[in-house]
Amino acid sequence: MKKPIETSLHGHQLLENSYLNKGTSFTLEERISFGLQGLLPPRVATLEEQITRIHEHFSQKKTSLEKYVQLRALQERNEVLFFAFLSRHLEEVIPIIYTPTVGEAVQLHSHIYRSPRGLYISPENIGYMEEMAENLPSRNIELIVATDNQGILGIGDQGIGGMEIPIGKLSLYTLAAGIDPAACLPISLDVGTDNQTLLEDPLYLGMKHKRLTGKEYADFIETFVVKIKKLYPQVLVQWEDLSKQNAFYILNRYRDNLLSFNDDIQGTGAVAVAGLLNAVKIKNEKITDQIFCIYGAGAGGIGVAGQIYNTLLREGLNPEEAHQRIFVLDSKGLITTTQKNLEDYKRPFAANFSERYTLLEVIQKMRVTVLLGLSGATSSFTKPMVEALLQNTPKPIIFPLSNPTSKAEASPKDLIAWSRGQAIVATGSPFAPVSYEGKTYTIGQGNNAFIFPGVGLGVLAAKAKKVTDTMFAAAADALSKQVSGAELEQGHIFPPIQKIRSVSVQVATAVFEEVLHEGLAPTPKQTPLNIIKDKMWEPVYLPFKKIS
């Protein structure tokens, strides 16, 4: 018997609460008890009928942005129906609620804004955070995704338009890992924008001044963290799409005293390593046999380098041997120990060379076998580079991981053709299968949605005291194991997106077990798997019980 939801809301108040609203699915008894008689069409619809109606409207939309706006409006009206619809049409909707469509929604945020969701926190209102929390529709917040809007996908500073990213990420947390939407809070930290187009846009809804930097920025973040810890002592904070400098500073500053992680650094690293673990299985080689070239030295690129380095250590290499197999480049060439003004976060992966070799030169001179793109530089992987990779290995691994689709370093179609069908290819955004000389190649998507929801679920279910890099290593290993031997034989290195919920359960379980192994949570009375499954919210309508 499903436990009923107790509420004192009545009439339009109930219909306007997105967490409780059932729309046309309120039963006759509920309509009488809660003052809904006559406010709804007379026939009681099932959830499946509602989903069919939504899909009919969804299919009639002509553009992805129109579909995005429709789904956001549905979410603000009826959370259960929104997530039930997403769960039935995963392949169709994930590219809409997140990359690539979310990039367009971010850029147009102030022009398509419809209704409030989450918190917009600025230096002008941060002193009122206690009052803000009191005015939220839900008080039991377990999970926050917070962005300062500066490093959005591959499109940079987007001002408060970045709010669409936490909203999308939290939707994936619920969809993939069953985190109760009422426990989720998206936050945009509006410290200004350096995007002149936004500053000159009369419809821009954010603070119209240049970004805070230096001590002013650091003090703002410190105040935010202190208040969040006071308001929600057990909350998990995911830092999202910060600038590369701030991403590393904030992660290192707060990782030991705030339950938190950075998905761009740690999640991206984990999903890349999961793909690499499966790619080397296809090659029938070891990950320690590979030479890695990472193009892009931002949060994602350095995060991937760090996770690869840790993996090589676990597989038996010593620190020097591991470093000698990883080469990281930024837009000016190979990162070296001799270059001037080397940023601290890049220093661990600086090569001991005096010359800043180009990407092609690194591939040739260092005998690279794995090429990873996290640069946001469209079409930066070229045919000569792929041909150079083929000189080093018969089956090069090439992952153009930059998001959205328009920022990918190369198209899978070109990579397959240039490599004569030999490259093992995965991307960050979804791409259609590629046909080449009568064979179809499925393009794996290295989507962080395979990692961060499960990590969050595992950490919250275990009641962990902190989030560590080894938890992400456990997540990467668990994800790699979700691809079957038969799927590997077909060239698949990531599971199909339809398996995202079962994948998240396995990732969460691995993370939970790692939490216990590290002694960062009390020993549970049930198995981790049972605790995880008990915690997962399902998008189904529950009966109601009226309270006064």
Same domain, yes or no: 199 and 238? yes
Tokens 């917009």 found at: 120
Same domain, yes or no: 253 and 305? no
Q: Which of 238, 258, 278 is the last residue of a domain?
A: 258
Same domain, yes or no: 137 and 192? yes
Q: Which of 204, 236, 258 is the last residue of a domain?
A: 258
Classify residue 497 as exposed, middle or buried by CB count within 10 Å of its CB (0-12, 13-18, 19+): middle
Same domain, yes or no: 400 and 491? no
Q: At what angle do helices 500-517 and 164-177 cross, to 10 degrees?
A: 90
Q: What is the structure's pLDDT at 548?
A: 76
**Residue 58 included in any domain:** no
Cα–Cα distance for residue pair 319/323, rounded to 1 Å: 6
**Domain CATH code at residue 126:** 3.40.50.10380
Number of domains in the chain: 4
Cα–Cα distance for residue pair 344/249, rounded to 1 Å: 10
103: which 2 tokens? 């990039």
Cα–Cα distance for residue pair 179/358, rounded to 1 Å: 44
**Residue 18 included in any domain:** yes
Same domain, yes or no: 158 and 245? yes
431: which 2 tokens? 């791409």
Tokens 């790692």 found at: 514
Q: What is the structure's pLDDT at 297?
A: 93
Same domain, yes or no: 183 and 245? yes
Same domain, yes or no: 246 and 288? no
**Residue 54 included in any domain:** no
Geometric angle at alpha carbon 422, from 302 and 441, rounded to 5°: 90
**Domain CATH code at residue 374:** 3.40.50.720
Residues that are catalytic: 98, 169
Please give the C-alpha separations between residue 111 and each of 105, 117, 193, 445, in angstroms, as whole numbers: 9, 16, 17, 30
**Domain CATH code at residue 14:** 1.20.1370.30
**Average pLDDT of each block of 10 consecutive residues along the chain (548 residues)?**
86 95 97 96 98 98 96 97 97 91 94 94 97 92 97 88 96 98 97 97 97 96 97 97 91 96 96 98 96 95 96 96 97 93 92 95 98 94 98 98 89 97 94 94 93 98 97 97 92 93 98 98 96 97 91
Same domain, yes or no: 410 and 526? no
DSSP state of 256: T
Same domain, yes or no: 132 and 240? yes
**Which residues are bridge partners to 185 per DSSP?**
144
Give the global pTM: 0.95
Question: What one-character-per-residue DSSP string does 1-63 give?
Answer: -PPPEEE---THHHHT-TTT--GGG--HHHHHHTT-TTTS-SSPPPHHHHHHHHHHHHHH-SS
Same domain, yes or no: 24 and 135? no
**Residue 541 included in any domain:** no
Same domain, yes or no: 191 and 309? no
User: What SS3 class is residue 239?
Assistant: strand
Domain range for 502 is 450-464+476-535
> For 371, phi and psi rounded to 5 degrees?
-120, 120
Same domain, yes or no: 237 and 300? no
**Residue 61 included in any domain:** no
The CA-based dihedral angle spanning residues 321, 365, 294, 440, taken in that order and rounded to the nearest 10 degrees:
-110
Residues 324, 293 contacting (CB under 8 angstroms): no
Q: Which of 29, 45, 61 is the last residue of a domain?
A: 45
Cα–Cα distance for residue pair 468/460, rounded to 1 Å: 14
Q: What is the structure's pLDDT at 245?
A: 84
Q: What is the structure's pLDDT at 340?
A: 86
Cα–Cα distance for residue pair 342/336, rounded to 1 Å: 8
Q: Where are the alpha helices (DSSP H) in 42-100?
A: 47-60, 64-77, 79-88, 90-97
**Residue 74 included in any domain:** no
Cα–Cα distance for residue pair 501/175, rounded to 1 Å: 7
Cα–Cα distance for residue pair 213/318, rounded to 1 Å: 39
Please give the C-alpha separations between residue 443 and each of 213, 261, 416, in angstroms, as whole numbers: 40, 28, 10
**Residue 114 included in any domain:** yes
**Residue 483 included in any domain:** yes
Please give the C-alpha separations between residue 116 and each of 146, 326, 349, in angstroms, as whole numbers: 16, 45, 42
